[in-house]
Amino acid sequence: MNSAAIASHENYASHENYLSSGWNWRSWLTTLDHKRIAILYVVTITLLFGIGGAAAAMIRLDLLTPHSQLVSIETYNKLFTMHGVIMVWFFLIPSIPATLGNFLVPMMIGARDLAFPRLNLASWYLFVGGALFTIYALLAGGVDTGWTFYAPYSTTFSSSHVFAAATGVFIAGFSSILTGLNFVVTIHEMRAPGMTWFRLPLFIWSMYATSLILVLATPVLAMTLMLMAIERTFGIGVFDPALGGDPLLFQHLFWFYSHPAVYIMVVPAMGVASEIVCCFSRNPVFGYRFMAYAILAIAAFGFLVWGHHMFVSGQSAYAGTVFSLLTFLVSVPSAIKVFNWTATLYKGQITFQAPMLYALGFVGLFTIGGLTGLFLASLGLDVQLHDTYFVVAHFHYVMVGGAVMGFFGGIHFWWPKITGRMYPEGWARFTAILTFIGFNLTFFPQFILGYLGMPRRYPEYPPEFQVWNVLSSAGASLLAFGYVLPLIYLLWSLRYGARAPANPWNAKGLEWETPSPPPTENFHTTPVVTEEAYAYSRAQAPHG
Amino acid sequence: MTNRADTRPMVYILVWLVLLALLVVTVGSAYLSLGWANTPLNLAISVTQAALVMLFSMHLRSAHPLMKIIAVIGFFGIALLITLSLFDVLTR
Amino acid sequence: MPTRARRPPMANGDTAVAPQFDDAEQQRTASNLGIWIFLATEILFFGVLFAAYAITRVRFPEAFAAGSRLTNLPLAGTNTAVLLTSSLTMALGVHAARHGARRALVGWLGLTVALGCAFLAIKAVEYRFDYLEHLVPSLDFRYAGPQADQVELFFYLYFFITGVHALHVLIGIGCIATIAVMASRNVFSPAYFTPVDVTGLYWHLVDVIWLFVFPILYLISRS
C-alpha cells in the first residue's frame, strides 16, 4: 500500500491511532473500522472521478468546434453516457456519505463505530464490484443511451454494452442501500449520552435524511434497471411500444428514484456547509430546528416531483401541472436553508480559510442552480428549455457548484482530523478561488447556450454558438486544474504537512474532542454531551 | 426498543386459520361476478392478510412505533408511485 | 478490536456483544431496526413490479383478464396455503427459540424449509404446465385470441414477478436451513436468538409479498 507520496505508518502522530494500527493489505482490505473504510472509499471514488472527468474533458474538447472533429458521433454519445453514469453513481452519490459520512457519523454522535461494521465493508466491496462492471462496459466499447437509459432505445435499439453498465449500477445500488441502512440504525441507536436529536450537528441530520432517501429510493432503481435489462435480453417487456408497452412507464419508474437521487447528492453538501459556515463565522446556526426540519422536508418532498423530468415526454398536461406545483413546493425548504446560512453569517466573526471559501461558493452556486430549477419547473418555460444546455447548466450548478464544492470544503475542513496533517492553506485558498472561477466560466455560458436553443447531447451545433462553447471549454480547463491541484497538495501534506492538533479550527463537535488522527475506537471514554450544537462564542477564533 | 412481548402459540394458529379462511374467501369471490368490485375486494383481503401477518407473526403489534412506521413506509412509497403514474396514464 | 471478523458463537448459547455496541440490548434493538429497514427496501423493490403491472393492466384490462384465466389457480392456491403454513411453522420456531426449546426450534425450522421447498416444487410444476401450454413469452408463446401481444405482456409480468419471488423464497430457504444447523449446534438461547428472529421476519415478508402477488395474477377474472 505504500506509495512514495504516502508516509509510512511510523511517521504518523506519536500517539497510536487508526492509521498506525496495522499497515498491510489485510489490515486495509479486511478492516471493519469505519474510518479506514471511509479512506478506501476516498481512494476509489477519486479514481472514478478521474475517469468521469476524462470523459468530460473529451466532451469539452470536442465541443470547441461546431463540427465534431475530435470524436465520432457514436463515440460522443458514449462519452456523455459514461460521464453521467460514472459521475452520478460512482462519484456524487457515494461522495460525501461514504467518505465523510462513514468517517464522521460515529464520531459526531460519540460512538465507537457504525452499527454494522461488516455491512459497511460489504458496502465498499459491492461498490468496487459495481464499478468494475461499469468499467468493463466502458472498455468493451461503452454505452450510448445516456445515463438515463431511456427505453425503447436501451431495451431494443442500442447495440452498446447496456447490460453490463446496468449490472454495475445495480450492484452499486446495494452498496448505497447498505450504507443508508447503517447510518439510520447508528443515528437512532448509538448516540452518546446527552446527544439528543436536537443537539445533533446538522451534518448528522443531513446524513440521516440522505440515508432515508438511499434506503427508500434505490430499490426502485434496482428493479427498474432489472426490468430494462431483462427486456433487452429477452426481447419482450412492458416498455416496448410495439407490444403495447409504455416507454413512459420506464421514465416514471426511473425518475421516481432519480429525482430523490439528486437530493442524495446535494443534501450532504448542505450538511457540510452548515458545519463550516458556523465554524468560520463563530456563530451558532441561525434557526437550528428550521434547518433540521428543512432537511427532512427536502427528502420527503423530493419523492413527489419526479414528473418534472417528463414535461415534454408525452406525459399528460394534468400530471405535468401537478408535478410543476409540487416542484415549486420543494424549493421552499432549500430556500429556507439558504436564508439561514446567510443569517448565520450576520454579525459573525468571519474568516476565509479554504473550507469557508468552498462553503460560501456552495451557497452562492447552489442558489443559482436552485433558482434555475424553478425556471425548468415552469411548464411553459420547460417546453423551450427541456433537453437544452439550460438543463445541463442547471444540474451542474447544483451538482458541481453545489455538491462537489461541498465535498471539497468538507475534505479540507476535516482533513486535519482524518490525516493528522494540515494542508497548505495558501494553495488551498488559491485552488478554491480558481475552482469557483473555472466553474462559472464553464457553466454560465451553458445557460446562455440553452436559452439560445442548443440541444444537449449533441456533438455539433450552429457556428453562432461557438463562442459560448469555447468559453465553456476554457473554463473546463481551469476547473480541471482546480481538481488536480488538491490531489497534489493534499497528498503532499500527508508527508510534509504540519501536524494537526486535535482541534485546529477551534470547532464545536465531538469529532474535534479526540486526537488527530483519532484512535481506532474514536474516544478513549464515551463522551457525555451537555451543550447544544454550534455553541460558538465570538471570543474564540479559529486557528489555522 | 426490542419486542419484549411474547405471543402464545395458539394466537399464531388462530391467525393462520383466519388467513386460510380469507384465502378461501378471496378465491371464492373471484368466481362471483362483481364487476369492477372484484379487484378492490381481493386487494382489501390481501391487505387484511398482510396486516395479520405483520401484526402477529412479525410482532408489530407490540413493536416500537418506529418499526410500525418503517413497516408501512414502503407501501406508501409504492402507492405514491402508482397513484401519480396512473394519474398521468389516465389523463393523457 | 474492530478488525475481528466474526463474533464467535458460543456453545452454551450466550453471546458476546459486538464491540461497537454498549450492551446486548442495544445490539438487539439495532438488529431489529436494521432488518425492518431491509424489509422496507424489499417492499419497494417488489413494489416496482406491482407498479409496472398496475399501469399495464389499466391499459389492457381484457388482455390481462384473459391471461389470468389461463393461469393455474389450483396449484397457486395450494401454494398460497403452503406458504401461509410455512409462516406459521416459522413463527412457532421463533417462539421456541425465545423459550430455549432447542429441539422444537430445529423441528419447526426443518418443517419451514420443507414447506418452502414444497412451494418451489409446486411452482416448478406450474411453470412446466405453462410451458406445455405455450405460455412462455419470448421462448414459446402462442395465443390464438385477441390482443395476443398484451396477453404475452401479462405472462411476461407473471414470470417476472413469480420468478423474482421464487428467488427470494430460495434465499429464504437457504437462510432458514443455515439457522436450523446453527440451532442444532446450540448456538441460540433465550438471551440470543437474533438470527432466528431476523430470518423469521424475512420469511414472513416473503409470505406477505405473495399474498399480493397471488390475487393480482391469478384472480383477475374468473367469473
pLDDT (tens digit per residue) in A332-367? 999 999 999 999 999 999 999 999 999 999 999 999
> In the predicted model, what is the mean pLDDT of residues A220-231?
98
Residue A9 has a pLDDT of 40
Q: Choose the closest CB to A319 out of B77, B80, B88.
A: B88
| Residue C170 vs residue B33, higher pLDDT | C170
| Residue A391 vs residue C8, higher pLDDT | A391
DSSP track, A344-398: HHTT------HHHHHHHHHHHHHHHHHHHHHHHHSHHHHHHHTTBHHHHHHHHII
Q: Is the pLDDT score of C9 beyond 60?
A: no
Residue B58 has a pLDDT of 96
In one letter, which amino acid is A133?
Answer: F
Q: Choose the closest CB to B77 out of A216, A314, A317.
A: A216
Residue that the C-alpha cell 441561525 belongs to:
A286
Q: Residue B5: which pLDDT band, with cuts at 50, 70 and 90? A: low
Q: In this complex, do A314 and B92 lie within 8 Å of one another by their Cβ atoms?
A: yes
Q: How many secondary structure helices (H) and strands (E) does chain C include?
A: 6, 2
The verdict on B92 touching A (C-beta cutoff 8 Å) is: yes
Q: In this complex, do C152 and A115 lie within 8 Å of one another by their Cβ atoms?
A: no
Residue B37 has a pLDDT of 86
> In the predicted model, what is the mean pLDDT of residues A158-164?
96
Q: Is the pLDDT score of C189 beyond 80?
A: yes
Minimal C-alpha gap between C111 and chain A (Å): 30
pLDDT (tens digit per residue) in A369-383? 999 999 999 999 999
Residue C75 has a pLDDT of 97
Going by CATH, does the domain composed of A36-513 fall within 1.20.210.10? yes
From residue B19, alpha-carbon distances to A30, A43, A155, C83 in Å are: 46, 52, 41, 11
Rounded to whole angstroms, the Cα distance separating B49 from B57 reads 11
Minimal C-alpha gap between B61 and chain A (Å): 21
Q: Which residues of C touch A31 (CB under 8 A)?
A: 2-3
DSSP track, B9-48: HHHHHHHHHHHHHHHHHHHHHHTS--GGGHHHHHHHHHHH
Rounded to whole angstroms, the Cα distance separating A129 from A168 reads 7
Q: Which residues of C touch A222 (CB under 8 A)?
A: 45
Residue of C nearest to A233 (CA): C138
**Beta bridge mates, C189:** C192
User: Do A55 and A83 form a contact (C-beta atoms < 8 A)?
Assistant: yes
Residue A541 has a pLDDT of 64
Q: Choose the closest CB to B77 out of C47, C98, C207.
A: C47
Chains that touch A (3 or more CB pairs under 8 A): B, C
Rounded to whole angstroms, the Cα distance separating B19 from B59 reads 16
Q: How many residues are present in chain C? A: 223
Residue A139 has a pLDDT of 95
Q: In this complex, do C211 and B46 lie within 8 Å of one another by their Cβ atoms?
A: yes
Write out the three cell numbers for A85: 453514469
pLDDT (tens digit per residue) in A441-490? 999 999 999 999 999 999 999 999 999 999 999 999 999 999 999 999 99
Query: What interface predicted TM-score (ipTM) does this complex get?
Result: 0.94
Query: Most A CBs within 10 Å: which of B64, B84, B86, B90, as the mutation test of the A interface?
Result: B84
Residue A537 has a pLDDT of 81
Q: In this complex, do B78 and C43 lie within 8 Å of one another by their Cβ atoms?
A: yes
Rounded to whole angstroms, the Cα distance separating A305 from A299 reads 11
Would you kindly state where each structural domain of chain A is located, as residue ranges? 36-513
Q: What is the greatest pairwise CA distance in chain B?
A: 53
Q: In this complex, do C30 and A116 lie within 8 Å of one another by their Cβ atoms?
A: yes
User: Do A135 and A143 form a contact (C-beta atoms < 8 A)?
Assistant: no
Q: Is the pLDDT score of A13 beyond 80?
A: no
Rounded to whole angstroms, the Cα distance separating A453 from A447 reads 10
pTM higher than 0.80 for the full model? yes
Q: Which residues of B touch C47 (CB under 8 A)?
A: 74-75, 77-78, 81
**Beta bridge mates, C136:** C140
Q: In this complex, do B87 and A318 lie within 8 Å of one another by their Cβ atoms?
A: yes
Q: Choose the closest CB to B91 out of A188, A216, A319.
A: A319
Rounded to whole angstroms, the Cα distance separating A512 from A418 reads 11
Give A535's DSSP letter: -
Q: Is the pLDDT score of A11 beyond 60?
A: no
Rounded to whole angstroms, the Cα distance separating A176 from A242 reads 35
Write out the three cell numbers for A506: 477551534
Residue C15 has a pLDDT of 62
pLDDT (tens digit per residue) in C10-54? 444 446 789 999 999 999 999 999 999 999 999 999 999 999 999
User: Do A355 and A412 form a contact (C-beta atoms < 8 A)?
Assistant: yes
Q: Choose the closest CB to C41 out of A30, A112, A219.
A: A219
User: Do A518 and A184 form a contact (C-beta atoms < 8 A)?
Assistant: no
Q: Which residues of C touch A106 (CB under 8 A)?
A: 20
Query: Most A CBs within 10 Å: which of B76, B81, B83, B88, as the mutation test of the A interface?
Result: B88
Minimal C-alpha gap between A427 and chain C (Å): 36
Q: At a CB cut-off of 8 Å and minimum separation 6, what does A159 contact?
A: none
Q: Is the pLDDT score of A538 beyond 90?
A: no
Residue A10 has a pLDDT of 36
How many C-beta atoms lie closer than 10 Å to residue A233's C-beta? 13
> In the predicted model, what is the mean pLDDT of residues B24-40?
89
Q: In this complex, do B3 and C42 lie within 8 Å of one another by their Cβ atoms?
A: no
Q: Is the pLDDT score of C5 beyond 50?
A: no
Residue A5 has a pLDDT of 34
Of A265, A270, A122, A113, which Cα lies nearest the Cα of A183?
A: A113
Q: Residue A524: which pLDDT band, with cuts at 50, 70 and 90? A: confident
Percent of chain A with pLDDT over 70: 96
Q: Is the pLDDT score of C7 beyond 60?
A: no
Residue B4 has a pLDDT of 53
What is the helix (H) or strand (E) element at residue A220, kind and residue range? helix A202-234
Categorise residue A536: left if φ over 0, alpha if ψ from -120 to 50, beta otherwise: beta
> Domains (ranges, CATH) in chain C?
24-218 (1.20.120.80)
Rounded to whole angstroms, the Cα distance separating A373 from A150 reads 22
Pairing of strands C140-141, C135-136: antiparallel
> In the predicted model, what is the mean pLDDT of residues A193-211?
97
Chains that touch C (3 or more CB pairs under 8 A): A, B
pLDDT (tens digit per residue) in A259-299? 999 999 999 999 999 999 999 999 999 999 999 999 999 99
Residue C27 has a pLDDT of 94
To the nearest whole number, what is the mean pLDDT of chain A?
Answer: 95
Q: Is the pLDDT score of B6 beyond 60?
A: yes
Q: Is the pLDDT score of A131 beyond 60?
A: yes
Q: Is the pLDDT score of C128 beyond 50?
A: yes
Chains that touch B (3 or more CB pairs under 8 A): A, C
Minimal C-alpha gap between C222 and chain B (Å): 5
Instruction: Report whether the peptide linkage leading into residue A97 is cis, meaning its omega lies within 30 degrees of zero.
Output: no
**Beta bridge mates, C140:** C136
Output A136-141 pairs: Cβ under 8 A, ≥24 positions apart. A136/A161, A136/A164, A136/A168, A137/A161, A137/A162, A137/A164, A137/A165, A137/A168, A138/A51, A138/A82, A140/A164, A141/A78
Q: Choose the closest CB to A189 out of C29, C49, C147.
A: C29
From residue A159, alpha-carbon distances to A78, A348, A489 in Å are: 12, 58, 43
Residue A15 has a pLDDT of 78
Q: At a CB cut-off of 8 Å and minimum separation 6, what does C61 contact?
A: none
Q: Which residues of A touch C37 (CB under 8 A)?
A: 181, 184-185, 215
The verdict on B83 touching A (C-beta cutoff 8 Å) is: no
Q: At a CB cut-off of 8 Å and minimum separation 6, what does A293 contact?
A: A333
Q: In this complex, do B81 and C48 lie within 8 Å of one another by their Cβ atoms?
A: yes
Q: Is the pLDDT score of A185 beyond 90?
A: yes
Percent of chain A with pLDDT over 90: 94
Q: Choose the closest CB to C204 out of B53, B70, B90.
A: B53
Q: Choose the closest CB to C157 out of A106, A112, A238.
A: A238
Q: Give the distance from CA A254 to its chain's centroid.
A: 19
Write out the three cell numbers for B10: 395458539
Write out the three cell numbers for A457: 447531447
Residue A539 has a pLDDT of 57
Q: In this complex, do B89 and C223 lie within 8 Å of one another by their Cβ atoms?
A: no
Minimal C-alpha gap between C156 and chain A (Å): 7
Q: Choose the closest CB to B53 out of C44, C207, C219.
A: C207
Q: Is the pLDDT score of B32 beyond 90?
A: no
Residue of A nearest to C28 (CA): A189
